[in-house]
Amino acid sequence: MPDKTPYSRTEESNFREQTMRKDLAPYVLKNLGNIVLNHKVGGMQLITVQSSSNPPFIVWVKCAWKPGSSGNCAVQMAFPSKEDRAHTADDVVQVVIDKTQRAKDRGATHLLLLAADDEGNVPLSAYLLPIDKTGEVIRESVAKDESLTKNGSSPSIYITAKGERQLPLVEIVRKYSIDLLSLTERQNLHADAIEDLNELPIGAVEPEKKYRYTPSYARDPRIRTYVINRAKGCCEYCSEKGFLMADDKSHYLETHHIIALADEGHDTLENVIALCPKHHREAHFGANKKQLEVKMIDLLKNGRRKNEQ
Who contacts 291 (Cβ-Cβ below 8 Å, separation ≥6)? Answer: none
Q: What is the pLDDT of residues 103-145, one digit of tens each?
A: 999 999 999 999 999 998 899 999 999 999 999 999 999 999 9
pLDDT attached to residue 4: 41
For residue 243, report the phi and psi dihedrals to the nearest 5 degrees.
-65, 150
What's the whole-number mean pLDDT along residues 146-153?
Answer: 91
Helix (H), strand (E) at residue 284: helix 277-285
Least confident of 34-38, 54-58, 189-193, 281-285: 189-193
Transcribe 132-158 into DSSP letters.
Answer: GGHHHHHHHHHHH-HHHHHTTTS-EEE
pLDDT attached to residue 24: 92
pLDDT confidence tier of residue 308, bands split at 50, 70 and 90: very low
pLDDT confidence tier of residue 87, bands split at 50, 70 and 90: confident
Instruction: Specify the 3-state DSSP secondary structure of 176.
Output: helix
Give the CA radius of gyration of the chain: 22
Reply yes or no on whether the pLDDT at 261 is more than 90. Answer: no
Q: What is the pLDDT of residues 235-255, one digit of tens each?
A: 999 999 999 888 778 899 999
Q: Are 141 and 169 within 8 A, CB to CB?
A: yes
E strands along the chain, which residues? 34-41, 44-50, 57-63, 73-76, 110-116, 123-130, 156-160, 178-179, 254-257, 272-275
What is the residue extent of each domain of the chain?
Answer: 11-190, 219-308
Q: List alpha helices for 197-276, DSSP H.
A: 221-231
pLDDT attached to residue 246: 83
pLDDT attached to residue 5: 45
Instruction: Specify the 3-state DSSP secondary structure of 50.
Output: strand
Q: What is the pLDDT of residues 22-33, one digit of tens each?
A: 999 999 998 788
What's the whole-number mean pLDDT along residues 56-73?
Answer: 93
What's the whole-number mean pLDDT along residues 58-78?
Answer: 93
pLDDT confidence tier of residue 260, bands split at 50, 70 and 90: confident
Q: What is the pLDDT of residues 163-195, one digit of tens each?
A: 999 999 999 999 999 888 875 333 333 334 333
For residue 58, report the phi and psi dihedrals to the nearest 5 degrees.
-110, 105
The pLDDT > 90 percentage for the chain reads 53
The hierarchical CATH code for the domain 11-190 is 3.40.1350
